[in-house]
């Protein structure tokens, strides 16, 4: 079996994207790292890294090997932390990914609090609306806002909160078209919808009753902030999570319609790879976010 220390050296070289920066981080001669990686490749019988004087790249086999070697180091760190005790102060980097709206609306006020609560923690947030493979891209956790249940992806899922969607419109629109007094009235109103293929809204009453309503599609956008702006412009009625329209309702820019009714829920879930979730830094981050996101 290959020397497990060489696995560590290989992971550091890949993480630092080169022998020189990895050698500086490990406080070792660059020649030592190069020698150990050559021995590792010889033991495995494959090339893990293509290296020239100008270019550094990991081979396809090297990428596969890296994922398992990095997981091994995480397991080793988790084992060490268990021995040291669960009360040890969380430290190190925690990499978080979230969509741009989730980052702006939910995480922006919370992550600075997290960093202050755990001074040895280094919080790294990547906000993007593209698909992110958190295992392949090395994230510790993802925060997802979603309307439907998430598919089973092999990741640990922790539901941390949900928020009802309200019906709202601008007062100028309601002055022109009238205030709906019951759900059936919405069929005569202009709807600001998330999709042209949507059949409308499933309305739920506080007493548990539900009804399906189909307003007239007036404006379509699959982004909630765009729908909020359209509603404030007086184009019609839309449904928004409370955290996205509470300030506008408080200021009078939007009016809540049929306050005893809601139109579904936005759920918030934290996802993480099994191994990452064992680290004290990740556990502390997840518990912190779950407690605060669940308050909504």
Give me the pLDDT at residue 228, please. 95
| 85's tokens | 């005790």
Pair 149, 283 in one domain: yes
140 lies in the same domain as 232: no
Query: Rounded to an integer, what distance in angstroms lies between the CA atom of residue 270 and that of residue 2?
Result: 36
pLDDT at position 234: 97
Structure tokens at 161: 């909160």
135 exposure class (CB count in 10 Å sphere: 0-12, 13-18, 19+): middle
Query: Region 153-181: what's the mean pLDDT?
Result: 92
Q: How large is the average pLDDT for residues 55-66?
A: 88
Q: What is the DSSP string of 35-92?
A: HHHHHHHHHHTS--EEE-SS-EEE-HHHHHHHHHHHHHHHHHHHHHHHHH-TTSPP-E
Q: Last residue of some domain: 84, 112, 133? A: 84
Q: How many domains does the chain have?
A: 3
152 and 18 share one domain: no
Residue 199 shares a structural domain with residue 283: no
Instruction: Identify the weakest region by mean pLDDT among 54-58, 84-88, 139-143, 176-180.
Output: 84-88
pLDDT in tens, 92-105: 889 999 999 899 98
Cα 123 from Cα 118, distance rounded (Å): 10
262 and 273 fall within a common domain = no
Query: Could you read off the pLDDT of 231-251 as tens digits, one per residue?
Result: 999 999 999 998 889 999 999
Residue 261 and residue 173 share a domain: yes
Pair (76, 119) in one structural domain: no
* Residues 213/186, Cβ–Cβ less than 8 Å: yes
- Cα 145 to Cα 12: distance, rounded to the nearest angstrom: 34
Alpha-carbon distance 257 to 239, whole Å? 10
* pLDDT at residue 110 in the model: 95
Does 78 lie in the same domain as 113?
no
CA torsion, points 285, 290, 295, 296, in degrees to nearest 10? Answer: 110
Cα–Cα distance for residue pair 133/139, rounded to 1 Å? 8
Using alpha carbons, select from 218, 194, 114, 203 the residue that is nearest to residue 146. Answer: 194
pLDDT at 162 > cutoff 60: yes
Domain final residue pick, 30, 61, 84: 84
Q: How confident is the model at residue 194 (pLDDT cuts 50, 70, 90)?
A: confident
What is the domain-level CATH number for residue 186? 3.40.190.290
Structural domain boundaries enclosing 156: 92-160+268-293
Residue 290's CB is within 10 A of a number of other CB atoms, namely 16
Among 84, 103, 122, the domain boundary falls at 84
Residues 37 and 67 grouped into a single domain: yes
Q: What is the pLDDT of residues 77-94, one digit of tens each?
A: 777 766 665 556 788 889
Distance of CA 145 to the CA centre of its chain: 8
Which of 58-62, 219-223, 244-248, 273-277 has the weakest average pLDDT?
A: 273-277
CATH assignment of the domain containing 131:
3.40.190.10
Q: Residues 151, 169: one domain?
A: no
Question: Residue 264 — pLDDT band, cuts 50, 70, 90?
Answer: confident
Claim to verify: residue 261 and residue 286 sit in the same structural domain: no
Short-list 290, 289, 286, 283, CA closest to 74? 283
| Structure confidence at residue 276 as a pLDDT band (50, 70, 90) | low
CATH of the domain at 57: 1.10.10.10
Tell if the pTM clears 0.75, that is, is over it: no
Q: Are 189 and 175 found together in one domain?
A: yes
Residue 70 has pLDDT above 60, yes or no: yes
**pLDDT at 116 exceeding the cut of 90:** yes
Residue 187, pLDDT > 90, answer yes
Contact status, residue 60 vs residue 107, Cβ threshold 8 Å: no
Torsion angles phi and psi, residue 84, rounded to 5: -70, -20
The full length of the chain comes to: 296
Q: Residue 213 is encoded by which pair of tokens?
A: 């309503």
Report the pLDDT value the prediction gives residue 147, as an integer from 0 to 100: 78
Say how far apart CA 296 and CA 291 lie, in whole Å.
10
DSSP state of 285: H
Q: What is the Cα–Cα distance from 100 to 135, expressed in whole angstroms?
A: 20
């Amino acid at each position: 079996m290959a020397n497990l220390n060489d696995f560590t050296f290989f992971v550091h070289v890949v993480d630092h994207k080169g022998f020189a920066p990895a050698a500086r981080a490990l406080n070792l001669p660059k020649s030592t790292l190069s020698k150990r990686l050559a021995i590792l490749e010889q033991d495995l019988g494959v090339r893990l890294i293509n290296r020239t004087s100008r270019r550094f790249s990991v081979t396809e086999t090297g990428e596969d090997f890296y994922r398992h070697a990095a997981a091994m180091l995480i397991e080793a760190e988790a084992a060490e932390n268990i021995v040291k005790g669960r009360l040890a102060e969380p430290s190190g980097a925690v990499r978080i990914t979230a969509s741009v709206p989730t980052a702006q609306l939910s995480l922006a006020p919370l992550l600075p609090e997290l960093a202050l609560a755990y001074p040895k923690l280094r919080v790294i947030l990547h906000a993007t609306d593209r698909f992110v493979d958190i295992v392949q891209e090395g994230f510790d956790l993802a925060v997802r806002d979603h309307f439907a249940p998430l598919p089973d992806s092999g990741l640990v899922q922790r539901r941390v909160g949900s928020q009802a969607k309200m019906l709202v419109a601008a007062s100028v629109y309601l002055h022109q078209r009238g205030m709906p007094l019951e759900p059936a009235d919405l069929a005569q109103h202009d709807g600001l919808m998330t999709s042209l293929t949507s059949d409308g809204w499933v309305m739920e009453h506080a007493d548990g009753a539900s009804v399906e309503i189909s307003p007239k599609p007036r404006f379509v956008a699959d982004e909630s902030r765009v729908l909020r702006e359209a509603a404030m412009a007086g184009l019609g009625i839309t449904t928004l999570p409370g955290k996205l329209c509470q300030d506008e309702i408080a200021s009078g820019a939007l009016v809540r319609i049929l306050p005893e009714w809601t139109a579904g829920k936005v759920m918030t879930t934290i996802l993480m790879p099994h191994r990452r979730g064992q680290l004290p830094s990740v556990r502390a981050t997840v518990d912190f976010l779950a407690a605060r996101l669940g308050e909504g």
